[in-house]
């Protein structure tokens, strides 16, 4: 596999679980705000057995492994092999993905090799390909559809969509929420060096524009379940 890094213990990569997190190098998408830009390109080829040994060393402290990146589903064969090994060790398997490789997600689900998928949604569908400078929207839509179906049928225990929010892009949220449908939605605080991050209160105000509960994730407050401020939402409707 093309190795990107390893965290032996994390409590922030999968809600309610202590996990180890393995980063797979490489990604075809070039998001300007990517926190892992150093591993989007380059090569550090490692034997699968070497990487599994890292995971095994974390067994006493974790109940799951999360595969992230980069884009982990870009390395289909390596990811399937690693997920299989993780399951054999008794670990639950989580995937953080941008959804541009739906065939890999389908193989993981069909093989019973994944317990949790967090799918990043970058923008409303109409802006997707222009924003990411590539023809990705149909693949991401396929990933969303197959994960939603697998979750509803019980083949995928946990599924959530994640929207990373930056100041000035709050008008995207109601459209994205409608497009993803009845799937758990996480509003995640975006952090870059150029723009002041949205506060938790500002993200709550954005969530109040939605007719649904969401999870809000910030560096300051961690992750909270937010059902919304009904009075503020009603005031917005009156103003409209």
For residue 234, the model assigns a pLDDT of: 55
Domains of the chain as residue ranges with CATH: 3-239 (3.20.20.70)
Closest CA to 1 of 27, 33, 23, 32: 23
Q: For residue 232, what pLDDT is reported?
A: 55
- Record the pTM: 0.93
Residue 223: pLDDT over 90: yes
For residue 168, pLDDT over 90 is answered with no
Q: Above 90 in pLDDT, residue 238?
A: no
Instruction: Please enumerate in sequence order all residues whose Cβ is within 8 A of that of 108, keeping only pairs 6 or more positions apart, or say none.
Output: 79, 80, 83, 93, 95, 114
Q: What is the CA radius of gyration of the chain?
A: 18
pLDDT, mean of residues 81-99: 98
**What percentage of residues in the chain have a pLDDT greater than 90?**
80
Can you state the angle between helices 76-88 and 102-110, rounded to 10 degrees?
30
pLDDT of residue 240: 52
| 222-226 and 214-218 strand pairing | antiparallel
Check pLDDT > 90 for residue 2: yes
What is the structure's pLDDT at 36?
Answer: 80
Give the mean model confidence (pLDDT) for residues 145-162.
98
What band does 220 get if pLDDT is binned at 50, 70 and 90? confident
How does the average pLDDT of the chain come out, rounded? 92
| pLDDT tens digits along 28-57 | 987 777 778 889 999 999 999 999 999 999
**In sequence order, what are the residues at sequence separation of 6 or more whose Cβ sits closer than 8 angstroms to the Cβ of residue 90?**
59
pLDDT at residue number 215: 96
Percent of the chain's residues with pLDDT above 70: 95
């Amino acid at each position: 596999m093309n190795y990107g890094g390893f965290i032996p213990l994390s409590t922030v990569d999968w809600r309610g679980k202590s996990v180890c997190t393995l980063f797979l190098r490489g990604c075809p998408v070039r998001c300007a705000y990517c926190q892992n830009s150093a591993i989007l390109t380059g090569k550090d080829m490692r034997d699968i057995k070497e990487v599994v040994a890292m995971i095994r060393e974390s067994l006493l402290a974790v109940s799951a492994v999360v595969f992230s990146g980069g884009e982990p589903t870009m390395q289909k064969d390596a990811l399937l092999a690693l997920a299989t090994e993780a399951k054999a060790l008794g670990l639950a398997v989580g995937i953080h993905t941008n959804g541009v490789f739906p065939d890999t997600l389908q193989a993981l689900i069909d093989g019973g090799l994944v317990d949790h998928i967090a799918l990043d949604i970058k923008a409303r569908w109409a802006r997707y390909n222009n924003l990411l400078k590539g023809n990705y929207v149909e693949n991401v839509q396929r990933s969303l559809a197959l994960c939603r179906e697998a979750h509803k049928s019980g083949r995928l225990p946990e599924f959530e969509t994640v929207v990373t929010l930056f100041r000035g892009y709050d008008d995207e949220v109601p459209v994205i929420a409608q497009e993803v449908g009845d799937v758990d939605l996480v509003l995640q605080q975006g952090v870059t060096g150029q723009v002041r991050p949205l506060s938790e209160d500002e993200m709550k105000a954005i969530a109040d524009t939605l007719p649904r509960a969401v999870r809000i994730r910030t560096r300051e407050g961690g992750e909270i379940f937010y059902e919304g401020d009904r009075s503020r939402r009603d005031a917005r409707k009156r103003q409209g």
